[in-house]
Amino acid sequence: MAVPKKRTGHSAQGKRRSNWKATKPTLTTCPNCGQAVLAHTVCTACGTYKGKPVRLKDQAAASEVKEEKKTKKSTKKAKVAEETKAEEKVEEVKEAEVVEEAKEEVKAEEATEDKAE
């Protein structure tokens, strides 16, 4: 077995160990809650990783939220469809009123022409 001939001095030992540096861990922000999280780890505050829930409780809650969003989207689409239908009906009613007014004006003009003759 190899044995050193002389003891290593403090300065030589320090020079050799000068490159042993502790690095700070890289921190990122959680896309869900915005808290500082170690890179490539699950967020301890909200339990998500890359924007997806990891805990079983959170997964169940996320599936419920997705279902709610789907129903909200479908109801939003239905509301928009109803509004457009209502607007079309209003336009049709306005057009019908304009046509009726035009007919009345024509009748009134014919009546005045008949009286003039």
Mean pLDDT, rounded, of the chain: 83
Number of domains in the chain: 1
The answer to whether residue 10 sits within a structural domain is no
Judge if pTM exceeds 0.85.
no
State mean pLDDT over 66-94: 77
* DSSP codes, 4-49: -SSPPPHHHHHHHHTT----PPPEEE-TTT--EEETTS--TTT-EE
Amino acid at 1: M
Full domain range(s) for residue 42 = 26-116
Residue 13 has pLDDT above 80, yes or no: yes
Is the model more confident about 85 or about 18? 18
The answer to whether residue 18 sits within a structural domain is no
53-56 CB contacts, 8 Å cutoff, 24+ apart: none
Q: Would residue 110 be called left, alpha or beta, if left means φ above 0 and alpha means ψ between -120 and 50 degrees? A: alpha
The answer to whether residue 69 sits within a structural domain is yes
Residues 26-77 pLDDT 10s: 999 998 888 999 999 998 888 888 888 887 776 677 677 777 766 666 677 7
The answer to whether residue 96 sits within a structural domain is yes
% of the chain beyond a pLDDT of 70: 87
Rounded to a whole number of angstroms, the CA Rg of the chain reads: 40
Residue 102: the pLDDT is: 83
